[in-house]
């Protein structure tokens, strides 16, 4: 690479669809269309209806901040061992998976909750990984050795109230203490969207 071109020039040329050699891109390249083809995930796209990526981003960011600011979590001397469960989809399109909300929340907690929250793998996923990757086979068909026992489980329920022109979504996020069934944390994200 030409040192004079530099990293800034490289990034600018990639964003505009220009080759590193400094020449123009193909005649059909349209850098002005990039924003249409890759709209920011934190914005509403008028071509879509219902829940959108902005809702996933906003809900997971809000819940991560609220959970990590929770007084019980911050007063705890012990790190919370937490397993991420699943989303109970109670919307009109219940066949669609909405686990993406918890997946992004899990990533936020892993990124920002170090020292306070230790995420552990879901038991079924762990068994699947063990069966696929470990070479030791048990002759009795019983599960593998006992692993870390989580103290808390993170789950969500997403409900919808559909109307003629809009739908109201209520997303409740809960952290359950698995030792005594106590709700250690609960909060919600609400949004009303065009149908």
User: 10-residue block means of pLDDT along the chain (195 residues)?
Assistant: 46 47 50 74 88 95 97 93 95 92 96 94 86 70 70 96 95 96 96 92
Asked if residues 111 and 68 have their Cβ atoms less than 8 Å apart, the reply is no
Distance between CA atoms of 169 and 123, rounded to whole angstroms? 29
Q: What one-character DSSP code corresponds to residue 28?
A: T
Q: What is the pLDDT of residue 48?
A: 86
Burial 69-90 (b: 16+ CB within 10 A, else e): ebeebeeeeeebebbbbebebe
Looking at the structure, do residues 112 and 90 belong to the same domain, yes or no? yes
Looking at the structure, do residues 91 and 138 belong to the same domain, yes or no? yes
Overall domain count for the chain: 2
Residue 95 lies in a domain: yes
Residue 92 lies in a domain: yes
Q: What is the pLDDT of residue 110?
A: 96
Looking at the structure, do residues 7 and 95 belong to the same domain, yes or no? no
Q: What is the pLDDT of residue 195?
A: 86
Q: What is the pLDDT of residue 101?
A: 96
Which pTM value belongs to this model? Answer: 0.74
Q: What is the pLDDT of residue 149?
A: 86
Looking at the structure, do residues 119 and 180 belong to the same domain, yes or no? yes
Looking at the structure, do residues 33 and 104 belong to the same domain, yes or no? no
Q: What is the pLDDT of residue 4?
A: 46
Distances (CA, A) of 105 to 111, 116, 164, 165: 10, 15, 31, 29
């Amino acid at each position: 690479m030409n040192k004079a071109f530099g990293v800034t020039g490289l990034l600018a040329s990639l964003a505009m669809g220009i080759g590193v050699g400094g020449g123009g891109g193909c005649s059909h390249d349209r850098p002005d269309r990039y924003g249409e083809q890759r709209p920011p995930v934190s914005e509403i796209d008028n071509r879509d209806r219902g829940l959108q990526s902005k809702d996933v981003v906003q809900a997971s960011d809000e819940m991560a901040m609220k959970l990590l600011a929770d007084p019980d979590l911050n007063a705890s001397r012990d790190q919370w061992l937490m397993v991420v469960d699943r989303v109970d989809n109670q919307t009109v399109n219940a066949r669609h998976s909405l686990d993406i909300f918890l997946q992004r929340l899990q990533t936020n907690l892993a990124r920002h909750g170090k020292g306070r929250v230790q995420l552990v793998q879901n038991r079924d996923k762990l068994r699947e990984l063990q069966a696929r990757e470990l070479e030791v086979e048990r002759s009795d068909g019983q599960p593998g050795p006992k692993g870390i026992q989580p103290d808390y489980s993170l789950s969500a329920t997403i409900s919808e109230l559909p109307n003629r022109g809009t739908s109201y979504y209520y997303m409740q996020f809960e952290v359950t203490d698995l030792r005594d069934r106590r709700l250690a944390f609960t909060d919600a994200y609400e949004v009303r969207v065009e149908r």
